[in-house]
Amino acid sequence: MTSAVRTQVAIVGAGPAGLVLSHLLAEAGIDSIILDQRSREDIESTIRAGILEQGTVDLLATIEGSRVHIVGQRHDGIELRFEGAGHRIDFPGLAGRSVWLYPQHEALKDLLAARLAAGQDLRFGVTATAVEGVDTTSPRIVAVDDAGVPVEVEADFVVGADGSHSVVRKAMSGSHAGYFREYPFAWFGILCEAAPSADELIYSNSPDGFALISQRSPTVQRMYFQCDPAADAGAMSEAEIWDTLQQRVPGTTLVEGPIFQRDVLRFRSFVARDLRHGRVAIVGDAAHTVPPTGAKGMNLAVADVILLARALEALLLRSDEGPIDGWADAARDRIWKAQHFSWWMTSMLHVAPDASDFDRLRQLGELRSVVESEAGRTYLAEGYTGWPMG
């Protein structure tokens, strides 16, 4: 027997976009239901990026029980390293704001706990298979739960926050059409038990490829190095991993420790052609993907839904269609700036496998022109810490 429910906003996906949206809607007095095919444990344990822009942190900090200011650490700068020397980018001095190191899965634990404590209807293990009535004022999500029982959620508005393989995107525009770019490299990521190797994150360009020395806590570190997209995460020994990392961060002796997780992260840029159709919209990774350099993914998802929540308030509480009609263009404004920033950081810091001597020397010239100019450093600091919300 089908279980059918009705709500004001039906959301597919309990990641950062879906959860923050449901929170903002609840604050405005709008009901929502969230479906996610994953279990709560899955959502809380998937390792993602760890850098939050100031605006993202300011919003998370307003949510009951958030640990972002307790467990998270403020970072006032990063180091760009190339040709064996480090160059600090001073965020508060250049852009008047900072970033916070707070792993995405910790932010998700806070958000899930807060939404459930607030009585949010949040259903795990429910897989959306279709969206019906896309051209009507009552679109409907068709789904199935883990036990095989069909579930239907009818709403005034449907939001796809269902990641890069979004079912809602396909249903909304009939295709996955969009703007796409693939890169000829990936990141090999590790988590290890060790003390931090430096006070701040190091983004290192070396002749052998890029490396990023990030952190998680005083005893756990996250590091990445540029690798072949076809690399097998299990194939390298720990000694080979440490050799690769050490070689790519000349001038710093990395603190080594047991590696307890490894993964290969793909590099893609994507923006969907359509972000909204009638009363259906897509946000977060369903709407766009950025390569990881600069950690814009979660921040962009939060920016999408801050704008969308305002537009839904106008639509559903005041029958004002102006903001929702302008939402996709407003969201695209930031999406393309973040796309450019992520592409720029990626192309400036990585060594493409087919890079010529010209490419390599031009890249070093670019890095020097950024760090030697206050305007260059400011440009980087503004993008990294996140442009103010409109």
**Binding residues vs ligand DHB (CB under 6 A):** 49-51, 201, 212, 214, 222, 292-295
Q: Reply yes or no on whether 323 is catalytic.
A: no
Least Å from the CB of residue 5 to ligand DHB: 37
Out of 224, 277, 292, 350, the active site residue is 292
Residue from 16, 23, 75, 183 carrying the catalytic annotation: 75
Name the minimum Å distance from CB 101 to ligand DHB: 7
Cα 148 from chain centroid (whole Å) = 31
Looking at beta carbons only, is 277 or 288 nearer to ligand DHB?
288
Minimum CB distance to ligand DHB smaller for 158 or for 349: 349
Shortest Å distance, C-beta 279 to ligand DHB: 34
Of the candidates 20, 37, 16, 5, which has an alpha carbon nearest to the alpha carbon of residue 312? Answer: 20
Catalytic residue, chosen from 102, 183, 224, 384, is: 384
CB of 48 to ligand DHB, least distance (A): 7
Shortest distance, position 349 Cβ to ligand DHB, whole Å: 10
Q: How far is CA 375 from CA 118, 152, 250, in A?
A: 45, 53, 27
Which of 22, 214 has the CB closer to ligand DHB?
214
The least CB distance from residue 291 to ligand DHB, in Å, is 8
- Comparing CB distances to ligand DHB, the nearer of 160 and 292 is 292
Q: How far apart are CA 73 and CA 67, in angstroms?
A: 11
Residue 361 phi, psi dihedral angles, 5° rounding = -70, -35
CB 112 within 8 A of CB 139: no
Report helix, strand or coil for 71. Answer: coil
Distance CA 227, CA 204 (A): 14
The string of DSSP letters for 177-242 reads: -EEEEE-S-EEEEEEEES--SSSSEEEEEETTEEEEE--SSSSEEEEEEEE-TT--TTTS-HHHHH
Nearer of residues 12 and 191 to ligand DHB, judged by Cβ: 191
Q: Please choose, from the candidates 143, 121, 123, 124, the residue with its C-alpha nearest in 3D space to the C-alpha of residue 132.
A: 143
DSSP 3-state of 69: coil
- From the list 203, 224, 288, 350, the catalytic residue is 203
Q: In terms of CB distance, is 19 or 290 closer to ligand DHB?
A: 290
Annotated catalytic residue: which of 109, 277, 296, 350? 296
Q: Is 379 a catalytic residue?
A: no
> Residues in the chain, how many?
390
Q: How far is the CB of 236 from ligand DHB (least distance, A)?
A: 19
Distance CA 379, CA 341 (A): 10
d(CA 314, CA 332): 19
- Here the tokens at position 387 are 């442009």
Specify whether 384 is catalytic.
yes
Q: Could you give the angle at which helices 16-27 and 104-117 cross, rounded to 10 degrees?
A: 40
Residue 23 vs 109, nearer CB to ligand DHB: 109
* Residues classed as catalytic: 75, 203, 292, 296, 384
